[in-house]
Amino acid sequence: MGELLTVNMGPQHPSTHGVLYLELVLDGEIVVSCKPHLGYLHRSIEKIAENRTYTQFIPFTDRLDYLASMNNNLGFCLAVEKLLNIAVTPRAQYLRVIIAELNRVASHLVAIGTFAQDLGAYATPLFYAFSDREKIVELFDSICGSRLTYNYMRIGGVSGDIPAGTEEIIKDFIKYERKQLMEYNELLTYNVIFLARSKNIGILTKEQALNYSITGPMLRASGVKWDTRKEEPYLVYDKFDFDVPVGIVGDSWDRFKVKLDEIEQSLRIIEQAIGAIPEGNPVSKVNRVFRGTGETYMRTENPRGELGFYLVAEAGFNPYRCKIRSPSFSNLGVLEELVKGLNISDAVCVLGSLDIVMGEIDR
Amino acid sequence: MAINEQIPGERIIEKFPGGEIILTKSEDLMKWAKGSSLWPLTFGLSCCAIEMMATGASRFDIDRIGSGVFRGSPRQCDVMIVAGTICVKMGDCLKKLYAQMPEPKYVIAMGNCAIGGGIFYHDTYSVVKGTEELGVPVDVYVAGCPPRPENLLHGIMKLQEKIKNAKQRSPNTDKK
Amino acid sequence: MQNSEVLIQIKNRFPDLAVEETPNALVIPKTALLEVSTFLKSEMAFENCHCVTAVDRKDKMEVVYHLYSFLNHFMLTLKVIVTLDDLAVESVSCLCRSADWLERETFDLFGIRFVNHPDLRRIMNPDAWSDHPLRKDFKRADFIPRPQSQGLKG
């Protein structure tokens, strides 16, 4: 063993996906230890939750996992509905599923694009992914007037109906995206350089994944067939037919592939849901302020894993305590073990395949 | 647009017939060059960073105005786009990055959080209420939560205008 | 599966343990936490420590564990009550590695010390801070509360 060298990676670094700070100890090119330091984006969202009414807190959930704002909205609204026993209008249930799945596609596209960029495929895959994502973002823009922080879900329903003609746009998008998926496969998935860079790098075993409470695509890439949408369905997910893609080894490539396959499954769900949207008003008639007691824990399947909201209410308009169990937080915990013994360039590959968003890690 | 339209004002002294020769002050030429190749620092803090990436990606194409070269190192940058919420732990880092940038340097505060705390102004214990709180001077404010990519492009164009119309070359007046 | 079934199993195994069942959770005494969670992990298949957090009840603190069993599809909420003069509880990070960071976070935000934790440091806030921001009595000069609108008091 030669002389050890400590390298600070981040908090400002193009490959740390935000403001993560990694303290890497290197022996030549080999990573001896890696210590993640968090908190560079700690925005005290949990404290804010205690000082906002339930409805007022929905915009803050947008800013947790800002690549999947709709899914966060959904998670929080479902938690409040579970806590206060509020029924969701039937049309809103379908709209929520469609919107959440579209956002999952958008989020996975960014994950794929940035992962390829981390591996050195500068800009091209990212531009491909972003131009696909732009179509979804534009659609969301027409639905709720915002490109990134949507604030579309409301307690008991959604903020408004989708504009006329949206179904056609979504159907066209599904056709377009299927074609694009084939292109991603040609461009990336079985590309020799891409395989050489990501295959057998950062293997996460099944046991490790369970021990670290890994959820989402990362868990499935390690071979555990577990999807909350399938196993403990919420909304109307039990009415749709979709598969749960799993990986075999649990390496970086598997994590990439699972995400790519999940896009196809999301498209299947959207396709089925769009044909079955019931008529009616998706806007709920419940009050804007609520008062309730008790506590609840609601988890939903976010693009990055299981997002949990633990709400404690005590006879006020505001939640007494709101704990957000974010998937990236648990997923990042395993990084330390994964990168030990790898080349420093492979550490970037592993980090890219974890697909973290600092907004929900630090909250 | 021809080059003589972009170099501002009455500075073109004479255009020779049959030749593409422009006479101008070297200072104005420098301003034009500086404004047309603003290299931003890759400095995404939070949500706004995604919109910054979208601005750089295919649809909005920040390269049209010469700012597409995102650099990883502050020493190669002209403009720092503060894209997102600044937290106390990040504050020192931001100041250090600003200090590391070579003169002339410019700062764009992108989004309400970087302008003045935004929705994280009240009830937070760990958010710095704006870039200027840290003593980093801001040239252009781009409002929105997050601003649309068109908005950011407009902000960069405003900065170009500011650079081109600056009275003196001295960096002290370029700021603020 | 129900909370009560888990309760019966725990009662059978630890007959002289004062386990309470509230509508949402099982409350176990502080001293028995490690024992009970080892039992839950090895014999009841609650292998997944999903979430660790705390709730400040002003006169006491609750440490809340969400344990999940993939086998039974059941989420169990375990609670441990700690008094303000002794904010310490046994760490479960030896059973489930995911508890490591979650406990660090709880320590950072609430000041609950986890005994035998491998690396109990602050995780979010600067190391130099001495207070714990998610406590209800947290006060600081740069903390600006939002002006309350008249209609929403209470």
Complex prediction ipTM: 0.87
pLDDT of residue A236: 87
Cβ distance of B123 and A51 shorter than 8 Å: yes
pLDDT of residue B13: 52
Residue A191 touches chain C, beta carbons under 8 Å: no
Average pLDDT, chain B: 81
Looking at CA atoms only, how far is residue C113 from chain A in angstroms? 19
Q: Report residue C117's pLDDT band, with 50, 70 and 90 as the boundaries.
A: confident
pLDDT of residue B170: 53
Q: Which of C153, C143, C62, C69 is nearest to C110 (CA)?
A: C62
* pTM score of the predicted model: 0.88
Question: What's the pLDDT tens digit per position in A14-43?
Answer: 776 778 888 889 888 889 988 888 888 888
pLDDT of residue B176: 47
Question: What's the pLDDT tens digit per position in A330-345?
Answer: 888 888 888 888 888 8
Average pLDDT, chain A: 88
Residue A324 has pLDDT above 70, yes or no: yes
Query: Considering only A87-91, A122-126, B20-24, C106-110, which range has the smallest mean pLDDT?
Result: B20-24
Beta strands C60-69 and C48-56: pairing type?
antiparallel
- Chain C residues inside the 8 Å CB shell of A330: 98, 101-102
Average pLDDT over residues B101-126: 88
Question: What's the pLDDT tens digit per position in A200-235?
Answer: 888 889 888 888 889 889 999 998 888 888 888 888
DSSP per position, C94-106: TT-TTHHHHHHHH
pLDDT of residue A104: 92
Q: Report residue C150's pLDDT band, with 50, 70 and 90 as the boundaries.
A: low
pLDDT of residue A105: 92
- Chain C residues inside the 8 Å CB shell of A334: 97
Looking at CA atoms only, how far is residue B136 from chain C in angstroms? 19
- Chain B residues inside the 8 Å CB shell of A51: 122-123
> Is A209 in contact with A246 (CB distance < 8 Å)?
no
Q: Report residue C1's pLDDT band, with 50, 70 and 90 as the boundaries.
A: low
pLDDT of residue C115: 86
Nearest to A44 among B44, B46, B126 (CB): B126
Residues A119 and A129: their CA atoms lie apart, in Å, by 15
Nearest to C98 among A51, A213, A231 (CB): A213
Question: What's the pLDDT tens digit per position in B50-100?
Answer: 888 888 888 888 888 888 888 888 888 889 888 888 888 888 888 888 998
Cβ distance of B90 and A130 shorter than 8 Å: no
Residues A298 and C50: their CA atoms lie apart, in Å, by 12
Secondary element (H or E) of residue C70:
none
Looking at CA atoms only, how far is residue C52 from chain A in angstroms? 9
Average pLDDT over residues A113-137: 86
Burial class of residue A239, CB neighbours in 10 A (0-12, 13-18, 19+): middle
- Chain C residues inside the 8 Å CB shell of B88: 125-126
pLDDT of residue B27: 81
pLDDT of residue B1: 43
Looking at CA atoms only, how far is residue B31 from chain A in angstroms? 29
> Is B78 in contact with B106 (CB distance < 8 Å)?
yes
Query: Considering only A44-48, B99-103, C12-16, which range has the smallest mean pLDDT?
Result: C12-16
Nearest to B126 among A42, A51, A63 (CB): A42
Residue A151 has pLDDT above 80, yes or no: yes
Residues C105 and C52: their CA atoms lie apart, in Å, by 9
Which residue of chain B comes nearest to C123, CA vs CA? Answer: B89
Question: What's the pLDDT tens digit per position in B29-49?
Answer: 888 888 888 888 888 888 888
pLDDT of residue B141: 92
Task: Kindly calculate the radius of gyration of chain A based on its CA atoms and give it in whole angstroms.
Answer: 20
pLDDT of residue A108: 92
> Is A69 in contact with A148 (CB distance < 8 Å)?
yes
Cβ distance of A41 and B84 shorter than 8 Å: yes
pLDDT of residue A190: 87
Let me know how long chain B is.
176
Residue A45 has pLDDT above 50, yes or no: yes
pLDDT of residue A103: 92
Cβ distance of B122 and C144 shorter than 8 Å: yes
What is the helix, strand, coil percentage profile of chain A, to 5?
50, 15, 35
Question: In sequence order, what are the residues at sequence separation of 6 or more whose Cβ sits closer than 8 angstroms to the Cβ of residue B121?
Answer: B127, B129, C144
Residue C47 touches chain A, beta carbons under 8 Å: yes
pLDDT of residue B3: 53
Residue C139 touches chain A, beta carbons under 8 Å: no
pLDDT of residue A55: 87
pLDDT of residue B172: 54
DSSP per position, A199-210: TTSS---HHHHH
Q: Report residue B4's pLDDT band, with 50, 70 and 90 as the boundaries.
A: low
pLDDT of residue B7: 56
Q: Percent of chain C scored above 70 by pLDDT?
A: 95
Which one has a higher pLDDT value, A258 or C140? A258
Cβ distance of A317 and C23 shorter than 8 Å: no
